C-alpha cells in the first residue's frame, strides 16, 4: 500500500517558486554536465595513448583511448561493449545498419520489391547503404589488431563508401531527377556513376598505399577528390530538382536540401579535424570530427531514403509508365562495381604483402 505519510513528508520540501538563485542553479547544472562529460572522456579501460601505438593508428588531436595491438580477436570483438575512442564510430553505423534494415522491411511492404520492378533501384540503394554501414562499423571495430589488418579494414571501408555513393546516384536519377533530365541522360548517367565509384575506391586505396605517417595534406586531397567527384555527380539530379531554390520548401525538397547540407557539414568537420583541433585530448571519446561525420552520414542516408520515397509517391504514375528496369541492369551494375572494388582492394593488399616481404 502507498505510504502517503512519507510522500507528504517530502512534498513541502519541494519549492516551485522563482525566488531561488537561478544563476547558481544553472552554474551547478553546468558543473554537473561538465563533470559527466569529463568522466566520459576518462579512458580507464583502454589506457593506451597516441605514444603507445604505431603512428599508423594515431588520429590527429586524439590522445587517449587507443586499444592494444596483437591481442586475440575476442579482445576487439568485446571492445564493442567497452569505452574507447572508436566506440561511437562503431555504434553510430551499427545503428545505421539496424535502421536501414527496418527501412528495407518498411518500404518493401509499400513498394513490393519482389514484384514491382520500378522499385528495384530503391532496393539497390538500400542494399548499398547497409553494406556501407557494415563495412565502416567493422573497420572501426577490428582495425586495431595489427598494421596489416588496419590497412585491410579501411580498404574495405572505402569499398563500402564507393558502393553507397553509386547507390545514392542510382536512387536520385531514377526517382528524384526532373523528367527532362532523366530522359536525356538515364543510362549514360549510370555508366559514368559506375566509373566514378571505381575511381573513388581506387584513389582511397592508392593514397593509403602510397603515403605513410605522418600523412601529408596531399593524402587527404587524393582521398577526398575521388569521393567528392562521386558525391557531386550523384547529387546533380537533386540540384536539378531543387533549382531554383524557392522557400519555403516542401517536406520532400527539405529532405533533399538537408542531405546535401549535412554531407557538406560532415565533410568539413572530418576534413579539418574539427572540433578536436582546438582542444586536443578533450574529445577523445565523444565529440570528435570523425564521429560527427558519421552522424552526418547517418542523417544524410535517412533524409535521402525518405525524400526519394516521397518523390516516388508523388511521381508514381509517371515512373510506372517508363520502361521497366532490367534486373540484370539494376543488380548487375551494383555487383560489377562491387567486383571491381574487390579487385582494387585485393591488388593493394597484394602490394602490401610484397612490401613486407622486401622489408624482411
Annotated binding-site residue? 30: no
Residue 175 and residue 313: Cα distance in Å, rounded? 9
Count CA within 13 A, CB hemisphere, residue 261: 8
CA gap 21, 25 in Å, rounded: 7
For residue 140, say whether it is annotated as part of any ligand binding site. Answer: yes
Q: From CA 102, how far away is CA 86, in angstroms rounded?
A: 25
What residues contact residue 311 under an 8 Å CB cut-off, 6+ apart?
Answer: 175, 176, 252
Strand partners, 64: 49
290 is in an annotated binding site: yes
Enumerate residues 6+ apart whose C-beta is below 8 A from 121: 170, 171, 174, 175, 325, 330
3-state secondary structure 205-232: HHHHHHCCCCCCHHHHHHHHHHHHHHHH
Q: Which residue's C-alpha cell is 535521402?
A: 304
**C-alpha cell belonging to residue 178:** 526532373
Annotated binding site: 140, 290, 294
- Binding site, annotated residues for Zn(2+): 140, 290, 294
Amino acid at each position: 500500500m502507498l505510504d502517503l505519510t512519507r510522500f507528504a513528508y517530502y512534498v513541502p520540501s519541494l519549492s516551485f517558486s522563482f525566488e531561488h538563485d537561478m544563476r547558481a542553479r544553472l552554474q551547478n547544472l553546468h558543473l554537473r554536465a561538465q563533470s559527466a562529460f569529463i568522466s566520459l572522456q576518462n579512458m580507464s579501460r583502454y589506457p593506451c595513448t597516441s605514444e603507445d601505438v604505431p603512428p599508423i593508428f594515431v588520429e590527429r588531436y586524439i590522445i587517449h583511448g587507443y586499444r592494444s595491438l596483437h591481442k586475440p580477436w575476442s579482445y576487439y570483438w568485446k571492445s564493442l561493449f567497452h569505452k574507447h575512442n572508436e566506440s561511437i564510430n562503431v555504434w553510430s553505423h551499427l545503428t545505421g545498419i539496424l535502421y536501414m534494415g527496418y527501412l528495407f522491411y518498411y518500404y518493401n511492404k509499400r513498394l513490393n520489391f519482389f514484384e514491382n520492378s520500378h522499385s528495384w533501384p530503391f532496393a539497390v540503394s538500400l542494399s548499398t547503404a547497409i553494406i556501407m554501414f557494415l563495412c565502416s562499423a567493422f573497420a572501426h571495430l577490428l582495425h586495431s589488431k595489427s598494421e596489416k589488418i588496419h590497412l585491410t579494414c579501411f580498404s574495405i571501408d572505402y569499398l563500402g563508401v564507393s558502393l553507397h555513393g553509386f547507390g545514392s546516384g542510382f536512387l536520385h536519377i531514377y526517382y528524384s531527377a526532373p523528367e527532362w533530365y532523366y530522359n536525356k541522360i538515364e543510362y549514360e548517367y549510370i555508366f559514368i556513376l559506375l566509373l566514378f565509384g571505381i575511381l573513388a575506391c581506387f584513389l582511397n586505396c592508392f593514397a593509403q598505399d602510397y603515403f605513410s605517417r605522418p600523412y601529408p595534406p596531399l593524402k587527404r586531397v587524393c582521398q577526398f577528390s575521388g569521393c567528392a567527384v562521386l558525391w557531386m555527380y550523384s547529387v546533380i539530379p537533386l540540384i536539378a530538382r531543387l533549382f531554383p531554390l524557392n522557400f519555403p520548401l516542401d517536406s520532400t525538397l527539405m529532405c533533399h536540401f538537408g542531405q546535401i547540407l549535412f554531407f557538406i557539414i560532415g565533410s568539413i568537420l572530418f576534413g579539418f579535424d574539427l572540433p578536436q583541433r582546438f582542444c586536443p585530448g578533450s574529445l577523445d571519446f565523444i565529440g570528435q570530427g570523425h564521429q560527427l561525420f558519421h552522424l552526418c552520414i547517418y542523417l544524410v542516408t535517412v533524409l535521402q531514403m525518405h525524400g526519394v520515397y516521397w518523390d516516388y509517391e508523388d511521381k508514381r504514375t509517371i515512373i510506372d509508365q517508363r520502361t521497366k528496369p532490367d534486373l540484370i541492369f539494376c543488380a548487375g551494375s551494383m555487383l560489377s562495381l562491387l567486383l571491381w572494388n574487390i579487385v582494387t582492394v585485393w591488388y593493394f593488399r597484394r602490394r602490401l604483402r610484397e612490401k613486407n616481404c622486401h622489408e624482411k
